[in-house]
A and B are shown apart, each in its own frame.
Chain A
C-alpha cells in the first residue's frame, strides 16, 4: 500500500503540453486569487468567468461547422444541408489554390483544385456558393488569410446583388496573416506588406461594416503545428497585440475597431489545461486592452472566441474513437466559455468528411447543449483549486513569452527571426518522441492497436480541376477585358501609395478579375515571401 502511494505521488504526471501536475490541489494553490481583481462575475472585468452575464442561458454558442469541397455548387448543397439540420452559421473552407491566390490553371495548382476546400476563382463562383442563401439571414466565417481582402470583396458584392447592404452583413474573415508565418505557412507577401493589407481591411470594416468581425486572431493552427497550450495562448494574444498596435500606429482609435476583433482557439485533448487556457485568454486580453492600450469601451476588453476541436488529435486508426475525443474537446470548449464551436468529424484524419460524419459531429454539440446540463450555469469550474491554479500558471507562462517578444521589438521582428516557428517546431518534435517512447498514449496508435476493416471516405477526383479550369477560361472570354485591365492596373498603383487597398480590390472583383490576377498584381508590387527552409 505504501509503495502504491509512493508511486502515485512521485511518478511525473504531465499534461499533453508537458506541464507537471500535482496529485492534489487545495486552498493554498488558489490563495492568491482575488475574486474581484482576478475573476469577476461573468460579464464583468476581467471576464475570466465569461464575457456574458448569463452565458449559455441567454443563448447557446453558435454551432458553426467548417465546410467546403469541390466546386461552388457542391459546397452550396452542403451549406443548405447544414442549415436545414440545425447549423446556425456558415463557415467556408477554401481549396489551396484559392488560399494561395492562384487560379486553377496555374502550374502550382496541379492536383489541388477543390481538394481541401471549395474552389473560388472569381465573383462568379462566390455567387454560386451563396445561391439561394440570403446573406441577411446567416452569419458567415471565411477561413482565408493572404487573399482575405479579395474574398471579403466577393462577399460584399454577392450581398449587393442580393440587395443586402454591407452594413448588414455579419460574419468574419480570418485574415490573421501573422499565424500564417508562424504556423500554417499560407503566406504570399512579406510580413510588413501583409500587415498593411490587414490594417487596410480592418479600417474598411470599421468604417463600413459594423456587424463584421474584421479579423479572427487564431491559435488553432499554431496548436495544430505542434505548439503547447501556453505557446498557443501566448503567440495568439501577442499577435492580437501586434494588430492593435499597427492599427493604432496607423491613426485609428482603439475603441473604434477593438470591439470587432475576434479570436479562434484549438480545444485539444487535455481537458483541464484547455479550460484554463480559455479562462486565462480572457483575463490577459482584458487587462492588455485596458492597461496597455487604454481602451475605454468594455467591448474592447472582451475576448470573444470561436473554438475548433483538435484535428491533429484525430487518428486514422479506429476512426470511431474520434467521436469520443471530439466530444471531450467540445465539452472543454463549452466549459471554457466559447462563443462558437466547430466539432471535427470522425473521418477527418483520412479525408474531408462525409455527410454522415458531419452529422454526428453536429449532433455531438447538440447533445452537449441540450442533454448534459452544462449550459445551466456560467463557468461551473470557477473556484476549483486546480482550475484556478492552472489558469494562473498558464497566464504566467504566456506573459513570459510576451516579455521575450516585446524585447525583440514585437511579433513581426520575432517572426522575421524565426522565434515562434522554432519554439513550435521543438515542441512538436518532443511530443512525437514522447509518443514513440509511449510516455504519451494515443489509443489505437501506440496502444490498444488492432486490425481494421477499410473505411469508406469522401473521395474528390480530378474532374473538379477540369471543370474549374473550363469555368475560368470561359470567364476570361466573356468579361470586359479592358475594364479588368484597368482595375488591375489601379490596384497595383494603389499598392504603391498609402491609400486603402480595399477600394481597388472591390472594383477589380466587380469587373470579374480572378483571384489569381488580383493577387498577382500585388505580387508585382510587394514581392513574395520565402521562408528559410530550416528544420
Chain B
C-alpha cells in the first residue's frame, strides 16, 4: 500500500531533490562538524559567577542546620543561598498532566526543612570560578536527622499520591466468562535519558528581565514560568536556545537548578552560570521507568484476549516534577497497544519513595507497558500452544476497524488510533527475517546445545501532540526563505525536516530555507520539542503556511499560520530480536535486531533510520545494561559511567530498519506521524521474549534489565534448557 499515499500533495513530482521523502543531509551538521557549535558551556559573559549546588547526602530526614560560615569566607565566594532565602519562591509547577492530588508533592527549589532524596538541592554557592564554587560547597556540612528511606513503590510506607484509572467494557464479566485467565507480574528497572550534554543554564540580567541561555526543549514554557515564579513581567524572560546535545525527555524541563540560576542572577545582578556535571546528572536529573505491572487477561478459546485487568505501581521518586502524571497516564492509556482488548480496566498507583524524582524518557509509559503487555501476549501463546506471531495475529486490530477508538485518554486527548495496518506490518517484519526458516534454524541450534532465541514485540506509538503550532514563513528579497517557529531543536534534525517541507512547497533548495527556533522573542508562543511532535505539528504548520505564501505570490511576503490539532497521530511498529546467551556468564549477545515502523509518511528516511537506530540503542540499554540502584539507606549506587552502563558501539548490534508508509495519518494533509520513539518502545519486550526462548523456559523473564546474573539465575531454574539437561547447580558444569 506504499502507493496509497501517491495521491498526497507533493508526492511523485520528482523534481525537488531536497523536498519531502529525500534522505537530505542534515543542515545542522556543518557547524557541529567544524567544531563551531555553541553549547551552553561554551558561553561566558563578563562578570558572571558560577553556581555549585550543595546536595543532600541523606535520602530522607529533617534538615536541622546548614552552617555557611566557612563557605562564605572561602576564596572567590560571592554568595551562598539556602531554602530560607527562597521560602517565598513557589514550588515548581506541572507543565503537563497535573492533578490537584499531586500538588502537595511538588518540589521546592531548595529544601526547606526536610529532605527526600540523595541529591536534593539544599543550598547554592556562587563564586567567581567553578573550581572555587565547588571548593566552597564542600565546606557546607548539612546537619540532617536521618529518617527511614522508602525504596519500593509497593511498600506500605510509600506515599500513595493518587491512582489513575482507565475503564471500559465489562472486565468482570469477561473474567468470569473466560476460557482461561492468564496472570503475569513483571517490572521494569529504573533508568533514564543520558544526553551527551548535561543540563546547564546561564541567566543574564537584561533591562529588568533576563536572557536565558542553555534553555532547551520547551523554551517558551520555561521562560514564561520563570517570569511568573520570579514576579517579572510576562515576556521579560527571553530564551535563547543554542545547540543542544540531546534531550530524550530529560533535558530541558524546568528543574530546581534552573530556577536557582535565574533567581540568583536577579538577586546578584550579574550573569549566573551553571553546568551540571555527570555526577549531578545521575543524582538529580529526572529518572524514569521503574514500574511494576500486575496483569490478568481473560482469554477465550481462540486465544483472543477479551479483557485485561491491570494494576500498575509507578515509582515517582521523592517529588512530582514538571511532568506531573504524564508517565502513569501514558502507561494506562497505551497499555492495550495494537490489540482489540474489548474490555479493559487499569489502575496506576503513583507512589512516592526516597529516590530521585522521575519524569519522562523516550517512549515514556510505552517502553514499560509494551514490555508488560507483550509478556502477557507471549504468556497467552504459551498457554494455548501457538507461536507468538500467531497469538498476535489473532488479537490485532484490523485495518477495517480504523480509525479505532481505544477508549482511553491521555495528555488531554482521547486515544483514537488514526490509521494502521498492524497485521501487514507484522507480516513485513516476519517476511524480512523469514520467520519460519529463522525459527527452524534457531530450533536446530538449540538442539545442538546453543542457547539462542527469537522474540517479537509489537506496539502502537503516539506522536504529534497539539494543541497548536504557530509558524511564520517569510520569503526574503534574496529568494531565500525564513521559517520562524516556537518549536525547539534537541539535536533531532528538525531544521532539516522543516526546511525540506518548505522546500517541497516553495520550490527552493532546502539549504535556502533558514529555520529559526527556540528564540522566545521571535515568535509569541511555542510548545517546543517533545512527544515526537515537531515533524507533525510544526511540519504541517509550515506546509500550510508555505502553501498560502505560494498562493499570495508576493516576493518578500510573509505568512503567519497556526495549525491546530486535538488528536495525536499513532505510528506503530514491531521489533524482532535474536539473542544468544552465554551459559557460563549469563551474558546476552544480540545477534540480530530488526525494527519495522510505520510513520505514515517519511519526510527524511535517513533521519528516521537514525532516530530508530539511536532509539534502539537506548531501548537495548534499558533492557540489558542501564539501572539506577540504591543501598538499603537510599544511597545511590550508580553515580558514574563506571556503574551506569550505557551500551557502547561494541555492544550495539547493527539494527535492521524497515520504514513503511502504509498508513498515512488522515489527521493532517501530509499524512505525517512522528518517528522519535519507535526504536525504543519494544526493545524490552522483544529481548525478553528472545531470552525466554533461549533459556527454554517460556515466560521466565519478568524483570528488566536482564543483567548477566539475572540471566544466569534463569538458566539455573529447573525448567530451563540447562536445567533440563540435568546439569548440577554449579555454573562450572554448564556448557
Q: Answer whether A and B are interacting partners.
A: no
